[in-house]
Amino acid sequence: MDHPDKPWTAFYRAGARTEISEPAYRNLAEMIRSVAGTHGRNPAFTCCLPNGMNGTLSFARVDEMSDALAVYLREIAGLKAGDRVALQMPNGLSFPVAAFGVLKAGCVLVNVNPLYTAEEMARQFADARPHALIIADMFADKVPQATAGHPIPNVIVTRVAEFLPVLPRGIVGLVQKYWDRSVKPIRIAHIRLPEALAAGRAKAAQARIEVDAYHQGVGPGDVAVLQYTGGTTGVSKGAMLSHANLLVNMEQVMELLVGDLDKGREVALTALPMYHIFAFTVNLLGFWWLGARNVLIPNPKPLSNLKRAFENYKITWMSGVNTLFNALTNEVWFTDSPPRHLKFASAGGMALQSSVAEKWERITGAPVIQGYGLTETAPVLTFEPVGKARAGSIGVPVPGTEIACLDDAGQPVAQGEPGEIAARGPQVMLGYWEKPEETAKVMHGDWFLTGDIGVMDADGYVRIVDRKKDMVVVSGFNVYPNEVEDVLAAHPGVLEVAVIGVPDEATGEAVKAYVVKSDAALSVEALRAYAREHLTAYKVPKRVEFRDELPKSNVGKILRKDLRAEELARIAAE
């Protein structure tokens, strides 16, 4: 039944619910257990390496292993309900075991980008104050520096090839140790993940522990995940996402797709990192709920790393960002033999270019469906209805969600006029972890202010026309100018610096720094090398331009908007 006040519901698939306000489960652990009971021995996660070596865990096996980890965390590591556990690893079989174990323990999961430098890790650890860290061995050498001054009492170390069969696991270990030397000596007290699971199993058997008791008191409104974001101000903040936020958002997305999918029969490709909120909600949680076989790619770069996954598995659904789809359509091996079982792909994290969507559908025969949202909204707010996409649109609000375009006074603008996109619905976060002032900046009553400027048409389709905030999106990853500027400004050869995002064919946007030197000898190469020591690779300025001065307001504030306008004018002229 259509809602006159929500005309976009007319574009939902036949039979789709128009309102979803309450989750079907009390908490994520309950959902994980229920799905495992339904799909049992069916393959749940397959980790596929670039050479085709792989390993698979069934739904029942992931369920059992995450139970063992939950017992270890509560009974041996001594954690309590609500304690934070940081998870820092790429896609692999360890990820769902670890994430589900944390949630079953009644603890709060803190996703950490494994590519972070020790400085970036330290800032997040200092804020979240985790009681345990589960980290891939490739990154564990950074832990001593990252935890100096605020130690994490329990550290569990895993491997990229964890839970793969003995032979491929051994080969990967040898390559990492002796060939590419990607695993360095671990100089902190730790336990290996398989040993932690074994200890948890033994304790459970000895004490006859019922794991479900750990999360019986966890309700829909309790915090499940701290997902860090710079939001609209650039200050690092942990968005408190509740069990209801994540469960409802998963249902909201699946409600619009499930008519085109078969429960228990889909094969999904996960190349996006699951520590990113889009892949966490849609890929990790959504594909599990769907009973799909989830093919995990630890590292999608170079793109040839995906080749064997497409060859060996009948992929029916995948998610990605614009740059991934664009790059695949320019790979000869992909265009010569595109996936023939693909029903559609979903895009998030950054704007999907229409030329890329058209080329993808021409090559694969399957459409790319675009979604829009933010970390603070768990993340999806709008989604394109299957077969009903409109050029330049980010789709319509998902079930149970309202979107409005507001003026600077917080009042709705006239239909078709641009205004700041505001949203309200059951997927909107509880607030920022221990930062009520920052929370107040993005809330207007029960409306969340996205910082993006958009237009909504009479049918409810939304189009983004500009970005109010200065955030730069590089291949789907958020880069906050304040953070980059702070790092560059610390260089002794830098007097002033301003950072903006500029269009880039390869990554959607790229980071550009405008610098006024204090040392005439400072070179672009030297400044970028300095940035690489302190920032994750995608945050390092791809372009640096030296200036004698930077544009400023009458009170001395550097005007990024003037630099951005100048850059866009230059591009237009060229």
Range scoring the smallest mean pLDDT among 144-153, 169-178, 276-285: 169-178
177: pLDDT strictly greater than 90 = no
Question: Is a pLDDT exceeding 70 seen at residue 554?
Answer: no
Q: Which phi and psi (to 5°) does residue 402 adopt?
A: -115, 140
For tokens 């990967």, name the residue.
Answer: 172
Q: Which of 278, 263, 247 is nearest to 400 (CA)?
A: 247
Domains within the chain, CATH numbers bracketed: 59-218 (3.40.50.980), 472-573 (3.30.300.30)
The pLDDT assigned to 235 comes to 64
Instruction: Give pLDDT, residue 386.
Output: 86
Backbone angles phi, psi at 19, to 5 degrees: -130, 125
What whole-number percentage of the chain has pLDDT above 90? Answer: 75
Q: What is the pLDDT of residue 378?
A: 97
For range 157-175, the mean pLDDT: 86
Mean pLDDT of 70-85: 98
Burial code (b: 16+ CB inside 10 Å, e: under 16) for 522-544 equals beeeebbebbeebbbebbbbbeb
Is 305 a residue whose pLDDT tops 80? yes
Q: Render pLDDT for 184-237 as a digit per residue (tens, 0 to 9).
A: 888 999 999 999 999 999 999 999 999 999 999 999 999 999 999 865 455 679
Q: What is the pLDDT of residue 3?
A: 65
The better pLDDT of the pair 418, 431 is held by: 431
pLDDT digits (tens, 9 = 90+) for 471-501: 888 998 888 887 888 889 889 999 889 999 9
CA–CA distances in Å: residue 545 to residues 322, 524, 529, 535: 27, 8, 15, 19
pLDDT at 178 over 80: no
* 310: amino acid identity, one letter: F
Nearest 10 degrees: Cα torsion 218, 106, 276, 351: 0
- The single-letter DSSP state of residue 542 is S
User: What tens digit of pLDDT does each residue of 502-546 get?
Assistant: 999 899 999 999 999 999 999 999 999 999 999 999 999 999 999
Mean pLDDT of the chain: 92
- Rounded to two decimals, the pTM is 0.88
Per DSSP bridges, beta strands 43-48 and 84-88 are unpaired
Provide the pLDDT for residue 63. Answer: 98
pLDDT of residue 534: 93
User: Is residue 371 scored above 60 in pLDDT?
Assistant: yes
Strand pairing category for 237-242 and 223-229:
antiparallel
> What pLDDT, on the 0 to 100 scale, is given for residue 221?
98
pLDDT at residue 464 in the model: 86
Spatial separation of the C-alpha atoms in residues 244 and 257, rounded to whole Å: 20
